[in-house]
Structure 1
Amino acid sequence: MTTTRQVAPDATSDGVPPARQARPAEERHATELAFLAAYDDGPRPPGWALTPRAVVTFICGSGGEPLELPKGRRSGADVTTPGDGTPGDGQAPPSRLVVEAKFVGERALVERCVVTLAGERGLLLVGEPGTAKSMLSELLAAAVCGTSALTVQGTAGTTEDAFRYGWNYALLLAQGPSPQALVASPVLTAMRSGRVARVEEITRCLPEVQDALVSILSDRRVSVPELAGTPDAQVAAAPGFTVIATANLRDRGVSEMSAALKRRFNFETVNPIADPEAETALVRGQATAVVGRAGAAFRVDDAVLDALVTVFRDLRSGRSAEGWDVERPGTVMSTAEAVQVAASLGVAAAYLPSGDVLDLVPGHLLGVVRKDDPADHSRLLGYWDGPVRRRAEDGSAMWRRLWDLRENLR
């Protein structure tokens, strides 16, 4: 006889909300958002939850320095470490807080993004896959309007309804076109409330679907002809409404944007992380979080992570740190992929400990490069025969061990 354990979807037995694999940025960083709202009371664009300067600080951090609320706005206990991201519980923000950096990239890029949004212009984040475009979009939306949830995921099957509106057909058949039967899209909801709408992978949408945004971004209103003659026949955008979209520069099955739509967006390119130390720290932090959610501690040596990130950077750029030429694989060797490999190593070390975790690196790398072009297998072997072998010959024990593992790539 078997029994089935039923779990309430919205609460545990003691009324506490259940754990989730991922929480939106506005929940993860609620303490920091509340603090910055009280910390900087300067001028804010209409509808903004924070000042533009506070938005930049939220994303780029306070440089490790604690910020202090002015005495007239102080309440709560001092906190001198980064916020724990506990969702807002109605308590006053702390009077002292170090704001953690959440995006590894140029501060000038973030500032340009904030200026674009403050001017209510559409923002398009473009770049290689895995460069944190979606994360930056989420952080910007959470800081500007308090929610990142008004999101459309672009696909080849996305219809114009995702940008405008649809209908509850049961109500439509029962009472005809009415405001109650109308189902607002995330974009239309953002227009009504003066918030930021996000469109992920906009170039995966068909051109005629993309162009539904042209009139929205230029006229700032949506007509609902089915409700003609009623006050709801036209929805005008409230102050603060704008759109953040993302697009990959290197992807298959994408649709070219029309010239008219391109003119409605300010393009900003999100590049791979330039600093190897910063990338290694990011990979370590993100992988630690993933393994932590899996219920284990992250126990991968820093030397292994350094070697892993070095491999990704060499293959991504086509040149090793020493200046040796490397044949680039067709697949994208992104930081996001490096995080996934590091997390897999951490999970294996925690739950399947058997020998040196370094022994697992070649197999995971092979899993990454085989995603697109079968010829990438030989390119990875070529990398082993080049930089890996040369570093091993220079006396590095770490690279010597990796060289010895070449057979694991076959």
Structure 2
Amino acid sequence: MILRRKENLSKVEQKHEKLKTSNMKWTTILLFLCFMGITMASAQQKTFKGTWLYEQGEKNGTIQLDLYQKSVENEFDMDGALCFGTFAFSDGSYYSIEEVEVEGNKASLQQVLDTEMGNFKMQMTYNSADQSIELSTNGANGLPDKLLLRKSDIQNQETSAESPIINEVDNETSSPINWTSIIGAVILIIAMAGYSLFIINKKNEFDQVYTTEYFSATRRSNGKSPQSSSEEDTQVTGLLDKLQHELTTFQNHTSGASYLVVLKKKQHKKCAGYLRQAIEIASTNPEILHDLQQYAHILANSQKRLFDGSYSVMIAAGIATLLVGYLMSDLLIVILFAGAIAVYYLASFAPQYLILNKVANSSHTSTGFLGTLANIVGNAKVITYIFDTQDTIDTITGDNIYRYDDYSQVQASVFIVILAYLVTGIGIMYIACWRFFRNFIMH
């Protein structure tokens, strides 16, 4: 009776564990989708960026804005400093925006300087219907209290190129959506790293030793005879035969040996169903138990997690992290990059059947990230051009042959390698998210 209660309790715990894993999985999926949504929103909600025009009677003006980062050139600054925006009016008046706070379609210009170093505060309200902006000047320098700015058809003519490397993150209050993205990224990093560690260290249900004593105790707890009947042995044999039929024969070309393996998630699911039924019947036949143990070992091994990532990608991300941290001088960005590298490492632990599937279906051996870049450089050639000239080039030897070596292929390949390293390093978070989705959500 006690054994039966323990068996029932074990089944309840297994169901609870499956429910817990499922809940963690769906929570992580939702966090992933939220992060992608926040990232897309960050790119799309920059309403106060571009060129606007002001026309009222004989007076007109051009307004350059980027209230999300200091990327607009201040033409009246001798050092070529950047600001959040400029107002240039036809009467010669000129203003630069130095401090801002943005909340949705409203912006508070905390510090607006003119050429005489006058300090003003203004407010902006964006109208999404016609993309116009209402500027409240508070009567600065005799300007009208309200200016209606209309969107220019030609955008960002004098706005410097945007780059995540030169983004002035020290103005944290200028863009709340950026802080939302950072918080979302931190939560996502913690969730993905935690879920990855949970799955990697989770014990497989078939990773145990099945013996006659084990099944005899199971049968007693279920109120059955300690020894299985011939009919039960036949049922288990039939289930194991079906399981074997579902497995794939994998040929190791190096050693010449062949193995029965699992290569797909659906295949594992079907085989696991047959094996669970066989375990539930609990045959005590030693020969059948031997086969059952072998198949349990195959299924358990197929779920073991092995590192399938690229250390070269992690090195590239490390270099990019140091570069971005140096240029931006922001410790928070460095921490986020380091967290992304950690997630990439954990997310690269793929189930063994997925790795075997890739090996079985590949027609050639992959060289990896670093090997691919090495091939790009290795395949680049120096082209030598030889020209015969009528005039003597070398007065001593009388040689009239002109040789020219073209290194453009080598230079281009080196540039591609450097660019690939930088792009890979800067995009490590997205690469990590994809590997996590493939290795832990899909499989």
* Alignment TM-score, normalising by the size of structure 1: 0.19
Structure with a larger share of its residues in strand? 2
Q: From the CA coordinates, give the structure whose radius of gyration is larger.
A: 2
* Alignment TM-score, normalising by the size of structure 2: 0.18
